[in-house]
Amino acid sequence: MSLRWFVAHTRPRCEKKVVDFCKEFGWIHFLPLYRSVRSYPSKKVVFQKPLFQGYVFLQLAEDSLVSIRQNRHVAKLLEPADQAEFAAQLNDIRLAVESEREVRLAPNITEGQRVQIRSGPLRGLEAVVCRRQGITEVILRLDFIGQAAAVKVEADELEPV
């Protein structure tokens, strides 16, 4: 029986439910999680959140495909074209998660890219990334007068426009 890698694109916030479903059938699955700490006035709470929201990685045989596709928490089942490359990249992610080092989603943001600041005091502003080393520096342009201001923000506060 040949196993192939698949990516279950889940319904919103259903990653752990898909994992539970896979455990019932004894299927090989991987849901990389990261630690998120929330501070409240009286305590700190630690959550384990999916690193890649909306995705669970599965290694399945052909006869399992119908069952996983029919699961109400799975929106779509995707199959990587290059199984070897996907397995190697997924293994790299697994090693990083198991290393117990801080792992977080790295936004795919490059210099010159137009972005919107999605959190913090500058939330909602659109800008252009001018430097992406350590803290990201973005340019807020004022085209009407031909001027701009540079602002340093954390990369995870940005999203491509």
Tens-digit pLDDT profile for residues 40-94: 999 999 999 988 888 999 999 999 999 999 999 999 999 988 898 888 888 888 8
Cβ 138 vs Cβ 159: under 8 Å: no
Tell me: do 123 and 85 sit in the same domain. Answer: no
- 90 is a domain residue: yes
Asked if residue 154 is part of any domain, the answer here is yes
* Paired tokens of 91: 């293994």
**Does any domain span residue 103?**
no
Domain count, the chain: 2
Same domain flag for 14 and 91: yes
Mark whether 17 and 84 lie in a shared domain.
yes
Q: Domain of 88: which CATH number?
A: 3.30.70.940
**Residue 9 CB: number of other CB atoms within 10 A?**
14
Q: What is the pTM of this model?
A: 0.69
105 falls within a domain: no
Contact present, 132 and 109 (Cβ < 8 Å): yes
